[in-house]
Amino acid sequence: QAITILRGLYAFWVGQNYVMGNPWTGVKVPRSSQPKVNAGRSFTTQQWDFIGEQLALLPNTSSARRLRFGIRLLYATGLRISELVAARVDDLGWVEYGPDADDQEAIEGWILSVVGKGQRLRHVPVPLGVVAELASYLESRGLDPNLEDPSNAGAHLMGATTYAVMA
């Protein structure tokens, strides 16, 4: 990061005719100092197990079902929160890829199409267990558990919950 800042500073100075050249253009950043995934921003297996245990202890309310499904979907797919909130049932599709020369087995499953960071479309595989949980969650919301049913058109994956008003 420091080298990038210095390159930018010297490029500015060269553009302003304060210096004749940028000595930082020839400096290469070593591979080992490239940024890595911040492991401090992810949960350990034990922490995920604890989260699963806590989710199982929640009462069977609409908001608890929504939270359970949402956490499991985020864990299984790595979606961003904004992608999850914007996702609709229509964005899910069943795909089948026939065998090819490299792989003799056909591949099939559910793919969720989401618009992610930078407005880029990406396709995220969704495990069958999570799709089964989605079907159950949709049914609890009064929707058809069949994901391809036309009555589910436009429905968000994460539907609204009903909240009890405290007096």
Host H or E run for residue 8: helix 2-15
Reported as a single tens digit per residue, the pLDDT across 64-110 is 999 999 999 999 998 998 899 999 999 999 988 887 777 778 788 99
Selection from 145, 154, 137 nearest residue 64 by Cα? 137
Query: Are 127 and 92 a contacting pair, CB within 8 Å?
Result: no
Query: Are 97 and 107 a contacting pair, CB within 8 Å?
Result: yes
Q: What pLDDT does residue 37 have?
A: 58
Residues 6+ apart with CB under 8 A from 73: 79, 84, 126, 130, 133, 134, 157
Reported as a single tens digit per residue, the pLDDT across 99-152 is 777 777 878 899 999 998 888 999 999 999 999 999 999 999 999 999 999 999
pTM: 0.68
Reported as a single tens digit per residue, the pLDDT across 5-25 is 888 888 988 888 888 888 888
